[in-house]
Amino acid sequence: MQKVIMGNHALSWGALLSRAEVIAAYPITPQTEVVELLSNMCADGDLDAQFIKVESEHSAMAASMGASAAGARTFTATSAQGLALMHEVLHWATGARLPIVMGNINRAMAPPWTIWTEQTDSISERDTGWLQIYTSSIQEILDSVIQAYKVAEQVYLPVMVVLDSFVLSHTNENCDIPDQKKVDAYLPKFNNEYKLDVNKPAAYGGLTGPDWYYELRYKIQKDTERSLDLFVETGKEFGEVFGREYGLVETYKMDDADTVLVTSASIASTARPVIDAMREEGHKVGLVRVRVFRPFPSDLMRKLLAGRKKVLVVDRNISFGMSGAFYEETKAALYNVKSSPPMWGYIAGLGGRDVPTNVVRDMIDQTLSEDHPEGDIIWIGVKK
């Protein structure tokens, strides 16, 4: 069924089609529509789920943990301050190995108070062990929720589906709502092998000393690494069932590219016509859109970027005292590669500052005009 829907509602439809059984959430701009629609869907009987209104995002994740531990497929959504408020519980969800799927609408962190888009909120959570998918279209948002459950429930790790505030969350676009039967065939019922069961009592997350904590962390990392192949497998299968294939990254005009733009989310979408225009002018430019950021697809990035002449990375986030996260991690992946190209790291679009095609063009032009980047961080368009 084709429907024009907003990005937020794509998350709701994804949760409905995935047959989420428990939704515990707290409202925050620009996430509110996600749970408003889910609550309507529950009230109308379209979604057979328990909808729990909690008093804070910390509680939202705690309630989600309880539900997932009891064996329910669980969904929630939040943004910025709300994500930060549940930080402690994000670590819990990973350590407890609970395959919760959460929509995070990227919103800049306050103060100053803001509602516009920036990735720093979810980037700040990259150490929690949550898998992260950065989306760049309404269709991808919906599809990624379904794929997220399929991966999460095989590795017993939580996944966040991330989207830009307003640019995606409140943009209305044509979207194919997949057929429920096809989704059911692709995504079987959740069977939590470790679920709470009064007939098989166990204690979870008890005190674990240095003797064995290390091994439990080793297991999490191993399963995170395993998810790289699972994202590819489930993404291929998605293509076979629904006609849209998804990978760890999306590449555009990369075959003979000398200069590569690496970026994510909505900026990666806007960059496509810029790449097209520059190709018309004879520049050999290509685009890599990083979709799965956790786990970081280091091997694939090495394959794609080694041997190129120049790479520029555009981050819509910043880790103060260092630079943008996608830049840092791309550099790290390429560090030991002999033919690693020089890399420029740009910061753009913080706090929802618009990134139109001419700004993308400016960044690529700057890289083309220099042999080496001048510093570890390059700011675009600061009003000095």
Q: How far is the CB of 358 from another protein (least distance, A)?
A: 9
How far apart, in whole angstroms, are the C-alpha atoms of residue 180 and residue 41?
15
Q: How far is the CB of 271 from another protein (least distance, A)?
A: 8
Residue nearer to another protein on the CB measure, 154 or 366: 154
Longest dimension (CA), the chain: 69
Q: Shortest Cβ distance from residue 172 to another protein (Å)?
A: 9
φ, ψ of residue 120 to 5 degrees: the values are -55, -30
Specify the residue, 94 or 323, whose C-beta has the smaller distance to another protein.
Answer: 94
Q: Which helix (H) or strand (E) holds 106?
A: strand 101-106
Q: Which residues contact 346 (CB under 8 A, 6 or more apart)?
A: 312, 313, 314, 315, 324, 327, 363, 378, 379, 380
Q: Based on CB atoms, which residue is closest to another protein, 216 or 322?
A: 216
Q: Between β-strands 2-6 and 22-25, what pairing exists: parallel, antiparallel or unpaired?
A: unpaired
Length of the chain: 384
Closest to another protein by CB, 270 or 323:
270
Q: Give me the residue label for tokens 């995935």.
A: 18
- Tell me the two tokens of residue 273: 């016509």
Q: Nearest distance from residue 306's CB to another protein, in Å?
A: 27
Peptide bond into 295 cis (omega under 30): yes
Q: Which is nearer to another protein, 8 or 323 (CB)?
A: 8
Q: How far apart are CA 177 and CA 191, in angstroms?
A: 25
- Token pair 């790289």 is found at 228
Q: How far is the CB of 136 from another protein (least distance, A)?
A: 8
Q: Please, what is the minimum distance in Å from the beta carbon of residue 204 to another protein?
A: 5
Binding site for another protein (CB under 8 A): 95-97, 136, 156, 164, 167-168, 171, 194, 201-206, 208, 212, 215-216, 218-219, 266-267, 269-270, 272-273, 354-357
Which of 123/167 has CB closer to another protein? Answer: 167
